[in-house]
Amino acid sequence: MYQRPVVDADEIEVRVRWRRPQRSSCVAVMLVVAVLATGGLITSAAFNTVDRSGMRDAGRLMDRYADDLSAGVSDRAAHYGDILHVLAAAVGAQSSLFSDDYARLTAGLESARLPGVAGISFVVPATTAQLGTVQQNWRARGATGLMLRPAPGKAEHAFVIFDRAFGGNAVVPGLDVTHIPQLDNALRRAWQGHTLAVSSAFHLVRDQKLPEQLRQSSIVFAEPIYTTQGSALPDRFAGWIVMSVRGQDFLSQILLDRGQGAIQASVTESDENGAVLTAVRPGQRAQQGSLTRHRTLFIGQRRWQITMWPTTRLLESTDRGMSWLTLAAGAVLTLLLAALTGILAGSRSRALRKVDQATAALRRDIAQREHVEARLREREQQLQHLAFHDPLTGLANRALFYDRLTHALTARPERLVGLLFIDLDGFKQVNDELGHHAGDTVLRAVADRLRVALRAGDTITRFGGDEFAIILDGLATAAEARTTAERVIADVQVPIDVAGTQARVSASIGIAISRAGAAADDLVRDADTAMYVAKSNGKNRYVEAGLLT
Protein backbone atom coordinates (compact mmCIF):
# COMPACT_ATOMS: atom_id res chain seq x y z
CA MET A 1 0.00 0.00 0.00
CA TYR A 2 1.35 3.40 -1.09
CA GLN A 3 2.08 5.87 1.69
CA ARG A 4 2.51 9.60 1.17
CA PRO A 5 5.89 10.90 2.26
CA VAL A 6 5.93 12.89 5.42
CA VAL A 7 7.13 16.49 4.86
CA ASP A 8 8.49 18.45 7.76
CA ALA A 9 6.86 21.87 8.44
CA ASP A 10 10.26 23.55 8.53
CA GLU A 11 11.02 22.24 5.03
CA ILE A 12 7.73 23.63 3.71
CA GLU A 13 8.54 27.05 5.16
CA VAL A 14 11.98 26.96 3.54
CA ARG A 15 10.46 26.12 0.15
CA VAL A 16 7.94 28.96 0.43
CA ARG A 17 10.61 31.42 1.42
CA TRP A 18 12.77 30.31 -1.54
CA ARG A 19 9.98 30.50 -4.12
CA ARG A 20 8.55 33.93 -3.02
CA PRO A 21 11.67 35.95 -3.86
CA GLN A 22 11.95 33.99 -7.10
CA ARG A 23 8.42 35.03 -8.13
CA SER A 24 9.01 38.61 -6.99
CA SER A 25 12.25 38.77 -8.98
CA CYS A 26 10.53 37.44 -12.13
CA VAL A 27 7.68 39.94 -11.76
CA ALA A 28 10.14 42.79 -11.25
CA VAL A 29 12.11 41.80 -14.34
CA MET A 30 8.93 41.52 -16.41
CA LEU A 31 7.73 44.92 -15.19
CA VAL A 32 11.09 46.52 -15.99
CA VAL A 33 11.13 44.94 -19.46
CA ALA A 34 7.57 46.11 -20.08
CA VAL A 35 8.42 49.65 -18.99
CA LEU A 36 11.53 49.71 -21.21
CA ALA A 37 9.60 48.42 -24.24
CA THR A 38 6.69 50.83 -23.77
CA GLY A 39 8.99 53.79 -23.13
CA GLY A 40 11.05 52.92 -26.20
CA LEU A 41 7.96 52.84 -28.41
CA ILE A 42 6.64 56.13 -27.04
CA THR A 43 10.03 57.81 -27.31
CA SER A 44 10.45 56.60 -30.89
CA ALA A 45 6.99 57.90 -31.82
CA ALA A 46 7.70 61.27 -30.17
CA PHE A 47 11.07 61.49 -31.94
CA ASN A 48 9.47 60.81 -35.33
CA THR A 49 6.69 63.34 -34.69
CA VAL A 50 9.05 66.13 -33.64
CA ASP A 51 11.49 65.29 -36.44
CA ARG A 52 8.73 65.49 -39.05
CA SER A 53 7.64 68.83 -37.57
CA GLY A 54 11.21 70.10 -37.83
CA MET A 55 11.42 68.94 -41.44
CA ARG A 56 8.18 70.78 -42.22
CA ASP A 57 9.60 73.95 -40.68
CA ALA A 58 12.82 73.56 -42.67
CA GLY A 59 10.78 72.93 -45.83
CA ARG A 60 8.72 76.08 -45.31
CA LEU A 61 11.90 78.06 -44.72
CA MET A 62 13.46 76.63 -47.90
CA ASP A 63 10.30 77.55 -49.86
CA ARG A 64 10.56 81.10 -48.52
CA TYR A 65 14.22 81.36 -49.50
CA ALA A 66 13.51 79.80 -52.90
CA ASP A 67 10.79 82.35 -53.65
CA ASP A 68 12.99 85.20 -52.43
CA LEU A 69 15.98 84.11 -54.53
CA SER A 70 13.78 83.60 -57.60
CA ALA A 71 12.32 87.08 -57.14
CA GLY A 72 15.81 88.54 -56.73
CA VAL A 73 17.11 86.93 -59.95
CA SER A 74 13.96 87.96 -61.86
CA ASP A 75 14.19 91.52 -60.54
CA ARG A 76 17.87 91.80 -61.47
CA ALA A 77 17.27 90.47 -65.00
CA ALA A 78 14.18 92.68 -65.43
CA HIS A 79 16.16 95.70 -64.24
CA TYR A 80 18.85 95.08 -66.86
CA GLY A 81 16.18 94.51 -69.49
CA ASP A 82 14.49 97.80 -68.58
CA ILE A 83 17.80 99.64 -68.93
CA LEU A 84 18.33 98.16 -72.40
CA HIS A 85 14.75 98.98 -73.38
CA VAL A 86 15.17 102.62 -72.36
CA LEU A 87 18.56 102.83 -74.09
CA ALA A 88 17.19 101.24 -77.29
CA ALA A 89 14.30 103.70 -77.31
CA ALA A 90 16.70 106.61 -76.83
CA VAL A 91 18.94 105.39 -79.67
CA GLY A 92 15.93 104.85 -81.91
CA ALA A 93 14.71 108.37 -81.20
CA GLN A 94 17.91 109.85 -82.67
CA SER A 95 17.35 111.14 -86.16
CA SER A 96 21.00 110.42 -86.94
CA LEU A 97 23.12 108.60 -84.35
CA PHE A 98 26.75 109.72 -83.98
CA SER A 99 29.48 108.33 -81.75
CA ASP A 100 29.15 111.33 -79.43
CA ASP A 101 25.41 110.66 -79.10
CA TYR A 102 26.06 107.05 -78.11
CA ALA A 103 28.71 108.10 -75.58
CA ARG A 104 26.28 110.61 -74.07
CA LEU A 105 23.42 108.10 -73.86
CA THR A 106 25.56 105.50 -72.08
CA ALA A 107 27.51 107.90 -69.87
CA GLY A 108 25.02 107.66 -67.01
CA LEU A 109 25.43 103.88 -66.67
CA GLU A 110 27.80 102.93 -63.84
CA SER A 111 29.50 99.57 -63.40
CA ALA A 112 28.92 99.71 -59.63
CA ARG A 113 25.16 99.63 -60.22
CA LEU A 114 25.36 97.00 -62.96
CA PRO A 115 27.18 94.00 -61.44
CA GLY A 116 28.64 91.66 -64.03
CA VAL A 117 28.14 93.97 -67.03
CA ALA A 118 31.27 93.90 -69.20
CA GLY A 119 30.08 96.30 -71.89
CA ILE A 120 27.17 97.65 -73.92
CA SER A 121 27.45 97.62 -77.72
CA PHE A 122 25.49 99.09 -80.61
CA VAL A 123 25.17 96.47 -83.37
CA VAL A 124 23.76 97.00 -86.88
CA PRO A 125 22.72 94.46 -89.53
CA ALA A 126 24.15 94.41 -93.06
CA THR A 127 24.30 92.09 -96.03
CA THR A 128 27.51 91.36 -97.88
CA ALA A 129 26.41 93.67 -100.70
CA GLN A 130 25.92 96.56 -98.23
CA LEU A 131 29.38 96.41 -96.59
CA GLY A 132 30.87 99.43 -98.38
CA THR A 133 27.84 101.64 -97.88
CA VAL A 134 27.44 100.71 -94.18
CA GLN A 135 31.15 101.22 -93.47
CA GLN A 136 31.22 104.65 -95.16
CA ASN A 137 27.98 105.73 -93.45
CA TRP A 138 29.19 104.96 -89.91
CA ARG A 139 32.64 106.39 -90.51
CA ALA A 140 30.89 109.64 -91.34
CA ARG A 141 29.03 109.41 -88.02
CA GLY A 142 32.11 109.29 -85.86
CA ALA A 143 33.27 105.65 -86.09
CA THR A 144 36.70 106.79 -87.23
CA GLY A 145 38.78 104.06 -88.82
CA LEU A 146 35.86 101.60 -88.81
CA MET A 147 36.77 98.47 -90.74
CA LEU A 148 33.99 95.91 -91.14
CA ARG A 149 35.27 92.34 -90.88
CA PRO A 150 32.51 90.02 -92.19
CA ALA A 151 32.43 86.39 -91.06
CA PRO A 152 33.23 84.09 -94.01
CA GLY A 153 30.48 82.03 -95.56
CA LYS A 154 27.61 84.25 -94.42
CA ALA A 155 25.35 86.50 -96.47
CA GLU A 156 23.90 88.41 -93.51
CA HIS A 157 26.05 90.03 -90.86
CA ALA A 158 25.78 91.98 -87.60
CA PHE A 159 28.62 94.45 -86.91
CA VAL A 160 29.63 96.18 -83.68
CA ILE A 161 29.70 99.94 -84.42
CA PHE A 162 30.02 101.56 -80.97
CA ASP A 163 31.03 99.93 -77.69
CA ARG A 164 31.01 101.14 -74.08
CA ALA A 165 33.30 98.91 -71.96
CA PHE A 166 32.99 98.59 -68.18
CA GLY A 167 36.37 98.09 -66.49
CA GLY A 168 37.79 95.74 -69.11
CA ASN A 169 38.69 95.26 -72.73
CA ALA A 170 36.48 96.92 -75.32
CA VAL A 171 35.24 95.11 -78.43
CA VAL A 172 36.97 96.40 -81.55
CA PRO A 173 34.37 98.11 -83.79
CA GLY A 174 33.71 96.29 -87.05
CA LEU A 175 33.52 92.81 -85.46
CA ASP A 176 30.93 90.56 -87.09
CA VAL A 177 29.24 88.82 -84.15
CA THR A 178 27.36 86.32 -86.34
CA HIS A 179 30.39 84.01 -86.07
CA ILE A 180 29.39 83.48 -82.41
CA PRO A 181 26.44 81.03 -82.59
CA GLN A 182 25.03 81.91 -79.15
CA LEU A 183 25.05 85.65 -79.85
CA ASP A 184 23.78 85.26 -83.42
CA ASN A 185 20.85 83.17 -82.15
CA ALA A 186 19.96 85.79 -79.51
CA LEU A 187 20.04 88.61 -82.09
CA ARG A 188 17.74 86.69 -84.42
CA ARG A 189 15.26 85.90 -81.64
CA ALA A 190 15.21 89.54 -80.53
CA TRP A 191 14.61 90.69 -84.11
CA GLN A 192 11.93 88.09 -84.83
CA GLY A 193 10.16 88.54 -81.50
CA HIS A 194 10.48 92.36 -81.41
CA THR A 195 11.53 92.09 -77.76
CA LEU A 196 14.42 91.35 -75.43
CA ALA A 197 16.30 88.09 -75.93
CA VAL A 198 19.01 86.48 -73.82
CA SER A 199 21.70 84.22 -75.25
CA SER A 200 22.91 80.87 -74.00
CA ALA A 201 26.19 80.80 -72.08
CA PHE A 202 29.57 81.30 -73.80
CA HIS A 203 32.90 83.08 -73.28
CA LEU A 204 32.89 86.74 -74.27
CA VAL A 205 35.14 87.94 -77.08
CA ARG A 206 36.36 90.75 -74.81
CA ASP A 207 37.50 88.11 -72.26
CA GLN A 208 39.64 86.08 -74.68
CA LYS A 209 42.83 87.67 -73.39
CA LEU A 210 42.09 86.52 -69.85
CA PRO A 211 43.60 83.25 -68.54
CA GLU A 212 41.30 80.26 -69.03
CA GLN A 213 40.67 79.86 -65.29
CA LEU A 214 39.47 83.48 -65.04
CA ARG A 215 36.92 83.31 -67.85
CA GLN A 216 33.33 83.12 -66.74
CA SER A 217 30.27 81.63 -68.37
CA SER A 218 28.70 84.76 -69.80
CA ILE A 219 25.50 85.79 -71.55
CA VAL A 220 24.25 88.74 -73.57
CA PHE A 221 20.99 90.67 -73.41
CA ALA A 222 19.89 91.82 -76.88
CA GLU A 223 17.20 94.51 -77.34
CA PRO A 224 16.03 95.40 -80.88
CA ILE A 225 16.09 99.06 -81.96
CA TYR A 226 13.35 100.64 -84.06
CA THR A 227 13.39 104.14 -85.50
CA THR A 228 10.40 106.20 -86.64
CA GLN A 229 10.84 107.76 -90.07
CA GLY A 230 7.63 109.76 -89.86
CA SER A 231 4.15 109.63 -88.42
CA ALA A 232 2.79 108.01 -91.59
CA LEU A 233 5.55 105.36 -91.82
CA PRO A 234 5.93 102.19 -89.74
CA ASP A 235 8.87 101.78 -87.37
CA ARG A 236 12.06 100.61 -89.09
CA PHE A 237 14.41 98.02 -87.58
CA ALA A 238 17.81 99.68 -87.09
CA GLY A 239 19.89 97.19 -85.07
CA TRP A 240 20.39 96.02 -81.51
CA ILE A 241 21.64 97.21 -78.15
CA VAL A 242 23.69 94.32 -76.76
CA MET A 243 24.70 94.07 -73.08
CA SER A 244 27.49 91.58 -72.28
CA VAL A 245 27.15 90.10 -68.79
CA ARG A 246 29.51 87.81 -66.85
CA GLY A 247 27.31 85.22 -65.13
CA GLN A 248 29.09 84.78 -61.78
CA ASP A 249 29.47 88.53 -61.18
CA PHE A 250 25.90 89.10 -62.42
CA LEU A 251 24.04 87.03 -59.81
CA SER A 252 26.40 85.67 -57.13
CA GLN A 253 26.04 88.59 -54.72
CA ILE A 254 22.26 88.70 -54.93
CA LEU A 255 22.13 84.94 -54.24
CA LEU A 256 24.36 85.39 -51.20
CA ASP A 257 22.38 88.39 -49.95
CA ARG A 258 18.97 86.80 -50.40
CA GLY A 259 20.16 83.41 -49.09
CA GLN A 260 21.72 85.01 -45.98
CA GLY A 261 24.39 82.31 -45.91
CA ALA A 262 21.77 79.66 -45.07
CA ILE A 263 21.47 78.04 -48.50
CA GLN A 264 23.66 77.08 -51.43
CA ALA A 265 22.36 77.89 -54.89
CA SER A 266 23.17 77.67 -58.58
CA VAL A 267 21.59 79.16 -61.70
CA THR A 268 21.81 76.97 -64.79
CA GLU A 269 20.34 77.00 -68.27
CA SER A 270 17.41 74.64 -68.81
CA ASP A 271 18.65 73.07 -72.03
CA GLU A 272 20.70 70.10 -73.12
CA ASN A 273 23.96 71.78 -72.11
CA GLY A 274 22.78 72.96 -68.70
CA ALA A 275 25.59 75.50 -68.41
CA VAL A 276 26.09 76.95 -64.94
CA LEU A 277 25.69 80.74 -65.05
CA THR A 278 26.54 81.28 -61.38
CA ALA A 279 26.86 79.30 -58.16
CA VAL A 280 27.36 80.17 -54.50
CA ARG A 281 28.43 77.65 -51.85
CA PRO A 282 28.33 79.24 -48.37
CA GLY A 283 28.59 76.99 -45.33
CA GLN A 284 28.28 73.20 -45.35
CA ARG A 285 25.55 71.53 -47.41
CA ALA A 286 23.11 69.43 -45.36
CA GLN A 287 22.41 65.93 -46.63
CA GLN A 288 18.64 66.40 -46.81
CA GLY A 289 17.57 65.68 -50.37
CA SER A 290 13.91 66.39 -49.63
CA LEU A 291 14.77 70.02 -48.82
CA THR A 292 16.34 70.70 -52.24
CA ARG A 293 14.29 73.26 -54.16
CA HIS A 294 14.06 74.07 -57.87
CA ARG A 295 12.58 77.11 -59.55
CA THR A 296 12.28 77.76 -63.28
CA LEU A 297 12.44 81.33 -64.60
CA PHE A 298 11.76 82.67 -68.09
CA ILE A 299 14.32 85.39 -68.85
CA GLY A 300 14.57 86.97 -72.28
CA GLN A 301 12.87 84.07 -74.12
CA ARG A 302 15.08 81.52 -72.31
CA ARG A 303 14.54 79.24 -69.33
CA TRP A 304 16.83 79.34 -66.33
CA GLN A 305 16.68 76.91 -63.44
CA ILE A 306 17.60 77.87 -59.88
CA THR A 307 18.58 74.94 -57.66
CA MET A 308 18.86 75.52 -53.91
CA TRP A 309 20.26 73.24 -51.19
CA PRO A 310 19.99 73.72 -47.39
CA THR A 311 23.06 74.19 -45.22
CA THR A 312 23.61 73.03 -41.67
CA ARG A 313 23.08 76.64 -40.63
CA LEU A 314 19.52 76.57 -41.97
CA LEU A 315 18.73 73.32 -40.12
CA GLU A 316 20.14 74.77 -36.93
CA SER A 317 17.74 77.70 -37.24
CA THR A 318 14.70 75.35 -37.17
CA ASP A 319 13.45 73.09 -34.37
CA ARG A 320 14.88 69.88 -35.87
CA GLY A 321 17.27 69.72 -32.92
CA MET A 322 14.25 69.23 -30.69
CA SER A 323 13.84 65.71 -32.06
CA TRP A 324 17.15 64.62 -30.57
CA LEU A 325 16.33 66.43 -27.33
CA THR A 326 13.05 64.55 -27.24
CA LEU A 327 14.83 61.25 -27.90
CA ALA A 328 17.33 61.89 -25.10
CA ALA A 329 14.61 63.03 -22.70
CA GLY A 330 12.45 60.02 -23.56
CA ALA A 331 15.35 57.59 -23.08
CA VAL A 332 16.24 59.12 -19.73
CA LEU A 333 12.63 59.06 -18.64
CA THR A 334 12.22 55.45 -19.71
CA LEU A 335 15.28 54.40 -17.74
CA LEU A 336 14.06 56.28 -14.71
CA LEU A 337 10.67 54.61 -14.88
CA ALA A 338 12.29 51.20 -15.25
CA ALA A 339 14.45 51.83 -12.23
CA LEU A 340 11.44 53.03 -10.27
CA THR A 341 9.52 49.92 -11.25
CA GLY A 342 12.32 47.70 -10.02
CA ILE A 343 12.53 49.56 -6.76
CA LEU A 344 8.73 49.37 -6.30
CA ALA A 345 8.89 45.58 -6.57
CA GLY A 346 11.33 45.41 -3.64
CA SER A 347 10.40 48.33 -1.43
CA ARG A 348 7.20 50.34 -1.26
CA SER A 349 8.68 53.24 0.62
CA ARG A 350 11.68 53.61 -1.66
CA ALA A 351 9.41 53.25 -4.68
CA LEU A 352 7.24 56.12 -3.45
CA ARG A 353 10.31 58.30 -3.02
CA LYS A 354 11.49 57.41 -6.53
CA VAL A 355 8.04 58.24 -7.91
CA ASP A 356 8.29 61.66 -6.31
CA GLN A 357 11.74 62.12 -7.80
CA ALA A 358 10.58 60.97 -11.23
CA THR A 359 7.58 63.31 -11.05
CA ALA A 360 9.86 66.22 -10.19
CA ALA A 361 12.22 65.29 -13.02
CA LEU A 362 9.26 65.09 -15.39
CA ARG A 363 8.05 68.51 -14.33
CA ARG A 364 11.51 69.96 -14.86
CA ASP A 365 11.66 68.34 -18.26
CA ILE A 366 8.26 69.76 -19.21
CA ALA A 367 9.29 73.21 -17.93
CA GLN A 368 12.54 73.00 -19.88
CA ARG A 369 10.70 71.88 -22.99
CA GLU A 370 8.21 74.74 -22.65
CA HIS A 371 11.15 77.12 -22.26
CA VAL A 372 12.81 75.71 -25.38
CA GLU A 373 9.54 75.93 -27.32
CA ALA A 374 9.13 79.56 -26.22
CA ARG A 375 12.66 80.32 -27.47
CA LEU A 376 11.89 78.57 -30.75
CA ARG A 377 8.73 80.65 -31.18
CA GLU A 378 10.79 83.77 -30.50
CA ARG A 379 13.39 82.65 -33.08
CA GLU A 380 10.63 81.98 -35.62
CA GLN A 381 9.29 85.52 -35.07
CA GLN A 382 12.81 86.89 -35.52
CA LEU A 383 13.22 84.90 -38.76
CA GLN A 384 9.86 86.17 -39.99
CA HIS A 385 10.96 89.73 -39.23
CA LEU A 386 14.26 89.17 -41.05
CA ALA A 387 12.40 87.67 -44.01
CA PHE A 388 10.35 90.88 -44.47
CA HIS A 389 12.69 93.64 -43.25
CA ASP A 390 16.04 95.05 -44.26
CA PRO A 391 18.67 94.11 -41.62
CA LEU A 392 20.60 97.41 -41.92
CA THR A 393 17.79 99.98 -41.71
CA GLY A 394 14.89 97.97 -40.30
CA LEU A 395 12.70 99.11 -43.20
CA ALA A 396 10.44 96.78 -45.17
CA ASN A 397 12.23 94.68 -47.80
CA ARG A 398 11.11 93.82 -51.35
CA ALA A 399 8.90 90.90 -50.32
CA LEU A 400 6.89 92.97 -47.83
CA PHE A 401 6.87 95.93 -50.26
CA TYR A 402 5.27 93.91 -53.08
CA ASP A 403 2.75 92.37 -50.70
CA ARG A 404 1.59 95.77 -49.43
CA LEU A 405 1.64 97.41 -52.85
CA THR A 406 -0.45 94.59 -54.34
CA HIS A 407 -2.90 94.84 -51.43
CA ALA A 408 -3.15 98.63 -51.80
CA LEU A 409 -3.93 98.30 -55.55
CA THR A 410 -6.48 95.48 -55.22
CA ALA A 411 -8.20 96.01 -51.86
CA ARG A 412 -9.77 99.35 -52.79
CA PRO A 413 -9.16 100.02 -56.51
CA GLU A 414 -10.97 103.36 -56.35
CA ARG A 415 -8.33 104.86 -54.06
CA LEU A 416 -5.28 106.61 -55.44
CA VAL A 417 -1.98 104.92 -54.66
CA GLY A 418 1.32 106.72 -55.18
CA LEU A 419 4.76 105.15 -55.49
CA LEU A 420 8.00 107.08 -54.93
CA PHE A 421 11.16 105.34 -56.19
CA ILE A 422 14.25 107.00 -54.63
CA ASP A 423 17.91 106.70 -55.58
CA LEU A 424 20.57 108.53 -53.52
CA ASP A 425 22.86 110.84 -55.50
CA GLY A 426 26.48 111.00 -54.32
CA PHE A 427 26.26 107.84 -52.22
CA LYS A 428 29.05 106.11 -54.14
CA GLN A 429 31.33 109.09 -53.41
CA VAL A 430 30.58 108.76 -49.66
CA ASN A 431 31.49 105.06 -49.80
CA ASP A 432 34.68 105.72 -51.78
CA GLU A 433 35.89 108.65 -49.66
CA LEU A 434 34.69 107.73 -46.15
CA GLY A 435 34.32 103.94 -46.36
CA HIS A 436 31.42 101.49 -46.28
CA HIS A 437 30.84 102.08 -42.57
CA ALA A 438 30.09 105.71 -43.36
CA GLY A 439 27.81 104.55 -46.18
CA ASP A 440 25.86 102.36 -43.71
CA THR A 441 25.55 105.36 -41.35
CA VAL A 442 24.16 107.48 -44.21
CA LEU A 443 21.64 104.78 -45.19
CA ARG A 444 20.38 104.49 -41.59
CA ALA A 445 20.15 108.28 -41.27
CA VAL A 446 18.15 108.54 -44.52
CA ALA A 447 15.84 105.73 -43.33
CA ASP A 448 15.21 107.59 -40.03
CA ARG A 449 14.44 110.82 -41.90
CA LEU A 450 11.97 109.05 -44.15
CA ARG A 451 10.19 107.57 -41.12
CA VAL A 452 9.82 111.03 -39.57
CA ALA A 453 8.82 112.77 -42.80
CA LEU A 454 6.05 110.37 -43.85
CA ARG A 455 2.66 109.34 -42.54
CA ALA A 456 2.32 106.41 -40.15
CA GLY A 457 0.39 104.40 -42.74
CA ASP A 458 2.94 104.84 -45.54
CA THR A 459 5.26 101.91 -46.33
CA ILE A 460 8.96 102.71 -46.63
CA THR A 461 11.17 100.10 -48.30
CA ARG A 462 14.87 99.68 -48.87
CA PHE A 463 15.23 97.95 -52.23
CA GLY A 464 18.94 97.34 -51.75
CA GLY A 465 22.07 99.44 -52.14
CA ASP A 466 21.07 103.10 -52.07
CA GLU A 467 17.53 102.63 -53.47
CA PHE A 468 14.36 103.23 -51.45
CA ALA A 469 10.66 103.09 -52.32
CA ILE A 470 7.62 104.60 -50.60
CA ILE A 471 3.98 103.47 -50.97
CA LEU A 472 1.52 106.36 -50.46
CA ASP A 473 -1.89 104.73 -49.95
CA GLY A 474 -5.14 106.67 -49.96
CA LEU A 475 -4.01 109.88 -51.70
CA ALA A 476 -6.63 112.56 -52.18
CA THR A 477 -4.88 113.91 -55.28
CA ALA A 478 -1.69 113.22 -57.21
CA ALA A 479 -0.38 116.56 -55.92
CA GLU A 480 0.10 114.98 -52.48
CA ALA A 481 2.73 112.64 -53.97
CA ARG A 482 4.63 115.59 -55.43
CA THR A 483 4.47 117.42 -52.08
CA THR A 484 5.84 114.33 -50.35
CA ALA A 485 8.63 114.03 -52.93
CA GLU A 486 9.62 117.66 -52.34
CA ARG A 487 9.70 117.05 -48.59
CA VAL A 488 11.85 113.94 -49.01
CA ILE A 489 14.30 115.80 -51.30
CA ALA A 490 14.60 118.60 -48.74
CA ASP A 491 15.14 116.21 -45.81
CA VAL A 492 17.66 113.95 -47.57
CA GLN A 493 19.98 116.74 -48.71
CA VAL A 494 20.58 117.99 -45.14
CA PRO A 495 24.23 117.08 -44.28
CA ILE A 496 24.73 113.92 -42.22
CA ASP A 497 27.37 113.83 -39.48
CA VAL A 498 29.67 110.81 -39.87
CA ALA A 499 32.27 110.77 -37.07
CA GLY A 500 32.73 114.55 -37.34
CA THR A 501 32.64 114.64 -41.17
CA GLN A 502 29.67 116.10 -43.04
CA ALA A 503 28.44 113.59 -45.63
CA ARG A 504 26.14 114.99 -48.31
CA VAL A 505 23.74 113.07 -50.52
CA SER A 506 20.63 114.04 -52.44
CA ALA A 507 17.66 112.16 -53.84
CA SER A 508 16.47 111.53 -57.39
CA ILE A 509 12.82 110.45 -57.23
CA GLY A 510 10.49 108.85 -59.74
CA ILE A 511 6.75 109.19 -59.03
CA ALA A 512 4.07 106.83 -60.34
CA ILE A 513 0.34 107.15 -59.61
CA SER A 514 -1.98 104.13 -59.86
CA ARG A 515 -4.23 103.84 -62.84
CA ALA A 516 -7.09 101.51 -63.69
CA GLY A 517 -5.92 97.94 -64.16
CA ALA A 518 -2.32 98.70 -63.14
CA ALA A 519 -0.44 95.92 -61.34
CA ALA A 520 2.36 96.30 -58.80
CA ASP A 521 5.05 95.58 -61.42
CA ASP A 522 3.58 98.25 -63.72
CA LEU A 523 3.75 100.88 -60.98
CA VAL A 524 7.31 99.87 -60.01
CA ARG A 525 8.46 99.97 -63.61
CA ASP A 526 6.92 103.42 -64.19
CA ALA A 527 8.45 104.85 -61.01
CA ASP A 528 11.86 103.31 -61.75
CA THR A 529 11.86 104.73 -65.29
CA ALA A 530 10.85 108.18 -63.99
CA MET A 531 13.64 108.01 -61.42
CA TYR A 532 16.22 107.34 -64.13
CA VAL A 533 14.88 110.34 -66.05
CA ALA A 534 15.25 112.48 -62.90
CA LYS A 535 18.85 111.31 -62.57
CA SER A 536 19.56 112.03 -66.23
CA ASN A 537 18.07 115.53 -65.91
CA GLY A 538 20.48 116.67 -63.22
CA LYS A 539 19.59 114.65 -60.06
CA ASN A 540 18.22 116.08 -56.76
CA ARG A 541 14.74 116.33 -58.25
CA TYR A 542 11.64 114.31 -58.97
CA VAL A 543 9.92 113.31 -62.21
CA GLU A 544 6.35 112.02 -62.47
CA ALA A 545 5.87 109.03 -64.74
CA GLY A 546 2.63 110.35 -66.15
CA LEU A 547 4.43 113.46 -67.46
CA LEU A 548 7.10 111.54 -69.43
CA THR A 549 6.93 111.97 -73.17
Percent of the chain that is helix, strand, coil (3-state, to 5): 55, 25, 25
- For a pLDDT cut of 90, what percent of the chain falls above it? 52
pLDDT band, residue 208 (cuts 50/70/90): confident
Q: Concatenate the DSSP letters of all residues of 169-209 into one string.
A: PPPPTTBBGGGSHHHHHHHHHHHHHTS-EEPPPB--GGGTT
Q: Is 176 a catalytic residue?
A: no
Give exposure, 76-94, as e/b (b: 16+ Cβ within 10 Å).
bbbebbbbbbbbbebbbee
How confident is the model at residue 190, as a pLDDT?
95
pLDDT in tens, 111-144: 889 999 999 999 999 999 999 999 999 999 999 8
- DSSP bridge pairs for 420: 470, 511
Q: Concatenate the DSSP letters of all residues of 493-524 into one string.
A: TS-EEETTEEE--EEEEEEEE--TT--HHHHH
Average pLDDT over residues 43-58: 76
pLDDT in tens, 164-177: 998 777 888 999 99
Average pLDDT over residues 393-404: 93
pLDDT in tens, 521-538: 999 999 999 999 999 999
pLDDT in tens, 63-74: 999 999 999 999
Average pLDDT over residues 247-264: 89
More confident residue, 11 or 31: 31
**Catalytic residue, candidates 466, 473, 526, 528:** 466
Angle CA 249–252–254, to nearest 5: 115
pLDDT band, residue 363 (cuts 50/70/90): confident
How confident is the model at residue 70, as a pLDDT?
92
d(C-alpha 359, C-alpha 352), whole Å: 10
The backbone torsions φ and ψ at residue 97, rounded to the nearest 5 degrees and listed phi first, read -80, 125
How confident is the model at residue 345, as a pLDDT?
63
Average pLDDT over residues 357-385: 78
How confident is the model at residue 549, as a pLDDT?
45
Nearest to 76 by CA among 305, 260, 250: 250
Determine the 3-state secondary structure of 310 from DSSP: strand
pLDDT in tens, 259-272: 888 899 999 998 76
More confident residue, 549 or 411: 411
